[in-house]
Amino acid sequence: MALPKINPTTTQSWSKLQEHFTAMETVTMQTLFATQTDRKERMSLATDLVSLDFSKNRITSHTLDLLIQLAKETKLDTAIAAQFNGAVINETENRQVLHTALRDFDAMKPEVVNTLDQIKRFSQAVIDGSHKGYTGKAITDIVNIGIGGSDLGPAMVTEALSYYKNHLNVHYISNVDGDHVCEILQKLEPQTTLFIIVSKTFTTQETLTNATTVREWFLQQAGEKAIAQHFVAVSTNLSAVASFGILPQNTFTMWDWVGGRFSLWSAVGLSTCCAIGYSNFELLLKGAYKMDCHFKSSEFSQNIPVILGLLSIWYTNFFKTETQAVLPYTQYLSKFVDYLQQASMESNGKSVDRNGSKIAYQTGPVVWGNTGTNAQHAFIQLLHQGTLLIPTDFILCKASLHGKENHQDILVANCLAQTQALLMGTHGEDIANPYKEFQGNKPSNLILIDQLSPESLGSLLAMYEHKIFVEGAILNIYSFDQFGVELGKKMANKQLRS
């Protein structure tokens, strides 16, 4: 048995949490803060790259004790060990789940070392101009052709780290919409463009359709032999890649123990590596590795991903919240929520448990959001005065990258003010106009990093990966398959054949 198979609702802690919730339902955070002067200090955690203030949640120390007991009763420690030790925890597909091995600099697999070396050599050749196009000109543009995890992760990281980018222009083609492809191609010159086709099987309908269209466009101006200089692949289907015209030395391997939505750390991140350089790409991996170490070695009460996962379960299953908002207060993370939606909702959007039984409790919430302060002039109205309870993560960088201190002061003030406004509302004020009354008592987490860097971003992403793992492990579901993706594909194929 790779993972425990314990229905969380059968545990003693679940029953106690249900009783405790009845008492907590009417307790306000305003009261908790008024009576617990050290609440923020007691409910804050930190690594050297990421810190978490979870004091603005509808919990007490007793709530935390019960949630941690739930983690213990469902044997979360066994699940964590099983993942890191390479057990086949993706049992429905008979696979290991080892994306953490892609960044384990203490005991890196030889095949990972070799692939990283290949990524390093190739990206450096493209960046320094020694890898040339068919007319002898250096590459100026990179186009990543993929979908899902082969697009969302790399596109998000490339955008997030654009402060660190070099002279190369990087584009992403994902949607099978022909207009999307054509708009990108209009911006490009075949002789100076490199295409990276990312598909594990090299059969993904959207990716291969887009890749074929791009190939035809390219061959309108270049010969077949030029494909070898302008197309590379990230795939396991070597024969299909070779048939496309891509050289073996320009084919980067993937492994079945890395799921698509957790693959940006692998050669799937080649476009990112070309954009920011190998040294920065390695720092991204090392930042993630630091969070891996924190996650697998810290006590549950001091473990940032564990606390985040437990809070999510608390709200989803006891307060019956259906969504979670994520608000990064940096425009660099404009693609972050899209990435996180896949990581969370494709992983934990399940209704059958690890025993094969239908689930009678709640699993994955809807994850949504946008960058602050944009959100403040849009949907945050609903968070403040709507009828839905929506737990919210605020992500904030303490310092900006370009040094615009006035802008940063305003940004930080707005972020902190929103967390305080959700907490306090107009509590204690004499509000005569009911339309201007704010109840407050709305939960939020504040996630802080000193400055957005490859290393801090890596740690932030790994934190959310592990949070998602914690939720799935405790809720007794398989987080690493995605059969829900397949049905629509099959029906689309039927439509095409009819």
Identify the CA nearest to 91 among candidates 99, 83, 101. 83
What are the backbone angles phi and psi of residue 94, rounded to the nearest 5°? 55, 50
Ordered strands of the 323-328 beta sheet: 44-46, 51-53, 444-449, 392-397, 323-328, 366-369
Distance in angstroms (rounded) separating the CA atoms of residues 446 and 458:
18
Distance in angstroms (rounded) separating the CA atoms of residues 169 and 191:
14
- Say if residues 50 and 459 touch (Cβ distance below 8 Å): yes
The H or E element that residue 179 is part of is helix 178-185
**Where are the strands (E) in 163-302, listed by range?**
169-173, 193-198, 231-234, 251-252
Residue 346: active-site member: yes
What are the backbone angles phi and psi of residue 131, rounded to the nearest 5°? -85, 110
Residue 230: active-site member: no
Residue 377: active-site member: yes
Distance in angstroms (rounded) separating the CA atoms of residues 422 and 444:
8
**Where are the strands (E) in 281-351, listed by range?**
323-328
Any residues with CB less than 8 A from the CB of 15 and at least 6 apart, and which? none
Residue 414: HSE in the Cβ half-sphere, 13 Å Cα cutoff? 20
Distance in angstroms (rounded) separating the CA atoms of residues 292 and 288:
6
What are the backbone angles phi and psi of residue 156, rounded to the nearest 5°? -65, -45
The H or E element that residue 446 is part of is strand 444-449
Distance in angstroms (rounded) separating the CA atoms of residues 161 and 184:
21
Tokens, residue 23: 């008492």
Of the residues 225, 358, 377, 402, only one is catalytic, namely 377
What are the backbone angles phi and psi of residue 445, rounded to the nearest 5°? -110, 145
Distance in angstroms (rounded) separating the CA atoms of residues 120 and 433:
62
**Residue type (1 letter), 296:** K
Q: Say which residue the tokens 């306000």 belong to.
A: 28
Residue 198: HSE in the Cβ half-sphere, 13 Å Cα cutoff? 32
Tokens, residue 300: 């549950």
- Say if residues 138 and 292 touch (Cβ distance below 8 Å): no
Of the residues 282, 346, 465, 471, only one is catalytic, namely 346
Of the residues 187, 398, 404, 489, only one is catalytic, namely 489
Residue 138: HSE in the Cβ half-sphere, 13 Å Cα cutoff? 12
Active-site positions read 346, 377, 489
